[in-house]
């Protein structure tokens, strides 16, 4: 996944648990257990989409011309 910031491009690093822990520290409205954070980073229960998958799907959408996309089309990984 590549993010553009002005004229430079930056590759997004894979999501790490420490990143989520830092976010939770900054936005401390909910206490997250280690188990919950691990599930977001590396889903094992199959109940939710992991954050890494979500970030990759958002990157696909960011690079999609939504004006040419028919309604209700799912995000497709290439």
Mind listing the pLDDT tens digit for each residue in 14-48? 888 898 889 888 887 788 889 888 888 888 887 77
Which pLDDT value is given to residue 57?
A: 85
Whether pLDDT at 4 is above 80 = no
> Could you tell me if residue 47 is inside a domain?
yes
Contacts of 61 (CB under 8 A, 6+ apart): 75
Token representation of residue 37: 């954070």
> Could you tell me if residue 56 is inside a domain?
yes
> Could you tell me if residue 76 is inside a domain?
no
Taking the C-alpha atoms of 62, 67, 70 and 75 in order, what is their torsion angle to the nearest 10 degrees?
Answer: 0
| Domains identified in the chain, total number | 1
> Could you tell me if residue 10 is inside a domain?
no
> Could you tell me if residue 68 is inside a domain?
no
> Could you tell me if residue 42 is inside a domain?
yes
Structural domain for 46, as ranges? 15-62
Is pTM beyond 0.85? Reply is: no
The secondary structure of residue 49, as a DSSP letter, is -
> Could you tell me if residue 37 is inside a domain?
yes
Token representation of residue 36: 């919950």
Whether 50 and 41 have beta carbons less than 8 Å apart is answered as yes
């Amino acid at each position: 996944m590549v993010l553009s910031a002005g004229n430079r491009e930056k590759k997004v690093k894979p999501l790490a648990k420490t990143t989520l822990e830092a976010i939770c520290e900054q936005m401390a409205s909910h206490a997250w257990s280690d188990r919950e954070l691990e599930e977001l980073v590396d889903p094992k229960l199959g109940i939710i989409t992991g954050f890494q998958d979500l970030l990759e799907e958002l990157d696909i959408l960011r690079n999609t011309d939504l004006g040419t996309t028919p309604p209700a089309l799912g995000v497709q990984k290439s």
